[in-house]
Amino acid sequence: MTTARTWLLADSPNSKLQANLGNGYRMMGALMRNPLAVVGMVILSMLLLAAIFAPWIAPHTPFGQNLGARLLPPSAAHWMGTDELGRDIFSRVIYGARITLMIVTLVAVISAPLGLLIGAIAGYFGGWTDKILMGVTDVFLSMPKLILALAFVAALGPGIENAIIAIAITSWPAYARIARAETLTFRNSEFISATRLLGASHSRVIVRHVLPLCTSSMIVRVTLDMAGIILTAAGLGFLGLGAQPPLPEWGAMISRGRTFILDQWWVATMPGLAIILVSLGFCFLGDGLRDVLDPKQGGKS
């Protein structure tokens, strides 16, 4: 253990792999010293485990109806009670983790790189490129996110895939803004000039030199935005425009539970708790990541 540690923290690493692993180890260590970040990581690993091992964790199938056991309150047999079709809510929440995770991952995979690239190109070239790209970005930014997503889903038709596309389309402009601001701070710096003088093409400079410097603030921002994305997805689900029944999506589950909220509170509350917990997890982790990756933005020390 000690030898692995000294190897990782070596001042003079002997290979690229050792240097990169060492950097990762230092960052991980810094993250581990932040209690909130650890809480966030624990929550998110629970989400991940729940999604992967859903069939083994869930005591019932998420779709199995049992009209004889409708709307039962939480008990030893049904930890979170049952819904109006007699399905086990706990099992549905566990399976819902898969959907939530899918939404979050796909949105991040689509919108973050898109925003990053557009922002970096705008910031790097400046001039007309910047004006046009940022004009488009501003148009998207000026519209409320949920309304825009609603419009897209209405046009594309309800469904989980379309909800993901709609959320991705509405969330890239914020990332483009950040990436542009970040790029402006170093686009005239000497290391960019030096790389250009070596004969590197613009695309090489953007991909290999500009983007890596924007990613850390991007990761922080995306993590902090995850909560918002989950809520938007849940909102779309709640309005019946996201995941369609019988998919156990948390927002849609709350929507179904709304009818019984006064008499059978658990139907809407349990998926709601799951949403709160996961959003909180992302926020905690995002704050921790900011302190580690982006020390100049973090308030303390």
Residues in touch with another protein (CB under 8 A): 11-16, 18-19, 23, 189-191, 193-200, 204, 208-209, 212-213, 301
Of 6 and 15, nearer to another protein (C-beta) is 15
| Closest CB to another protein among residues 200, 231 | 200
In the bound state with another protein, the residue whose beta carbon lies nearer, of 78 and 209, is 209
Tell me: cis bond preceding 73? Omega within 30 of 0 counts: no
Q: In whole angstroms, how far apart are CA 268 and each of 28, 97, 247, 250, 263?
A: 37, 16, 15, 9, 11
Residue 17 CB, shortest distance to another protein, in Å, is 9
Q: What is the nearest approach in angstroms of another protein to the Cβ of residue 22? A: 9
From the CB of 29, what's the least distance to another protein, in Å?
Answer: 9
- Largest Cα–Cα separation, the chain: 76
Q: Which is nearer to another protein, 76 or 197 (CB)?
A: 197
For 267, counting Cβ atoms within 10 Å of its Cβ (0-12 exposed, 13-18 middle, 19+ buried), the class is: buried
Min. distance of Cβ 13 from another protein in angstroms? 4
Sign of the Cα pseudo-torsion (258, 263, 264, 270, in order): positive
Q: Whole-number minimum distance, CB 288 to another protein, in Å? A: 18
- Smallest distance from another protein to CB 213, Å: 7
Is 82 in a helix, a strand, or coil? Answer: strand
**Closest CB to another protein among 10 and 109?**
10
- Between 19 and 114, whose beta carbon lies closer to another protein? 19
Answer yes or no: are the C-beta atoms of 253 and 84 closer than 8 Å.
no
* Angstrom distance (rounded) from CA 10 to CA 2: 12
Nearest to 251 by CA among 41, 92, 82: 92
